[in-house]
Amino acid sequence: MEETSLPRPSSSSSLNIGLDIAHAFFKPIQGSAPPSTTKRHNKITVVGVGNVGMAIAQTILTQDLADELALVDAKADKLRGEMLDLQHAAAFLPRTRILASVDYQVTAGSDLCIVTAGARQIPGESRLNLLQRNVALFSKIVPDLAKMSPDAILLVVSNPVDVLTHVAWKLSGFPSNRVIGSGTNLDSSRFRFLVADHLDVNAQDVQAYIVGEHGDSSVALWSSISVGGVPVLSFLEKQEIAYEKQTLENIHRAVVDSAYEVINLKGYTSWAIGYSVANLARSLLRDQRRIHPVSVLAKGFYGIEQEVFLSLPAQLGRGGVLSVANVNMTEEEVQALRRSAETIFQVQSQLN
């Protein structure tokens, strides 16, 4: 295994001197408790140290979500550079052991494996061709992750996230509750930001979900939006306050377009997806049982018949997906959700 992390002190003679110095500095306390064998120890793996993977890694570190962080990428030099750059921040961060390798052994025993590796679109390349290349890439990554961490939760971020989460589920052999796509968790955050901006309130007080595909066929659940516990649309209707349906559609359109806008302006998206995925990692590993719109196996929910992954408001905890919330959708919203499922299924069906 080519582990590019610093070796453990016991594996290096120069660092053994370091251990001797440590003994001189610190007088051991006799009979002090040995390290607990039952204390929860969290290990997170991030595959792909590009813009997205590194934004996720740095948010995980600053938010103290892991005791051990393993990074994997196909590019050994870039990987080592990123690992060292993070390790050099040790004096400013909670203590986390950071490892990196092109070899999947480094990921062994992970509680959560986050996949952000992805091929870049070649000019003129069709979306389907890009997808096929990403599927080929996943067929190398996912079986190794599953072998090294058979009890882990898999969290897919690479796009198209819904189809690739289905691919990851098939390749891993994991039960569906342990395979999740980051889905519309980010879209919903963008949605909450835009609604909050419109009403001049704090986005954390806006409860609003985008469900369905992480992409053009996503569905904004206007009927269940609430601000500070007040259901927005029924409040406006009861008060006979006129609102333009077009305004609502414009906000949803802005959510769908916002990724394209950021990519056009800075070349990629990173910070918001970093926070969004770290937020999911917290709910999963700290068993927060919070509801997040994430990509889950949707067959059987809301009348969806296809075996597709798409985003539904799901309760997340240490066991992965614990349940799917029974949101009261309008008939129009349910129909749009089913169309979104069909859109994903059409793309999925073109794969072998």
Residues that bind ligand NAD (CB under 6 A): 47-53, 72-75, 116-118, 120, 137, 140-141, 157-159, 161, 182, 186, 214, 268-269, 273
Cβ neighbours for 299, distance < 8 A, ≥ 6 positions apart? 305, 306, 307, 308
Distance from C-alpha of 112 to C-alpha of 151, rounded to nearest angstrom: 9
Q: In this complex, which beta carbon is closest to ligand NAD, that of residue 57 or of residue 221?
A: 57
Q: From CA 138, how far away is CA 127, in angstroms rounded? A: 16
CB of 101 to ligand NAD, least distance (A): 11
Q: What is the torsional sign of CA 50, 56, 57, 62? A: positive
- Residue whose token pair is 């059409």: 346
Active-site entry in 41, 88, 198, 214:
214
**What does the alpha-carbon distance between residue 186 and residue 207 come to, in Å, rounded to a whole number?**
14
Peptide bond into 160 cis (omega under 30): yes
Min separation Cβ 277 and ligand NAD, Å: 8
Binding residues: 48-53, 73, 134, 157-159
Nearer to ligand NAD, 50 or 313 (CB): 50
Residue that is written with structure tokens 């800075």 in the block: 266
- Three-state SS for 153-169 is EEEECCCCHHHHHHHHH
Binding residues for NAD(+) are 48-53, 73, 134, 157-159
Q: How far is the CB of 86 from ligand NAD (least distance, A)?
A: 15
Residues contacting 345, CB < 8 A, separation 6+: 306, 307, 308
Burial of residue 59 (CB within 10 Å: 0-12, 13-18, 19+) is buried
C-beta closer to ligand NAD: residue 158 or 224: 158
Tell me the closest approach of the beta carbon of residue 317 to ligand NAD, in angstroms.
21
Instruction: Give the phi and the psi of residue 112 in degrees, each rounded to 5.
Output: -140, 130
Residues 6+ away with beta carbon under 8 Å from 17: none
Q: How far is the CB of 216 from ligand NAD (least distance, A)?
A: 14
Q: Which residue number has the CB closest to ligand NAD?
A: 50
Residue 47 or 227: the one with the smaller Cβ distance to ligand NAD is: 47
Residue 252 falls in the annotated catalytic set: no
Residue with Cβ nearer ligand NAD (135 or 327): 135
Residues with active-site annotation: 214
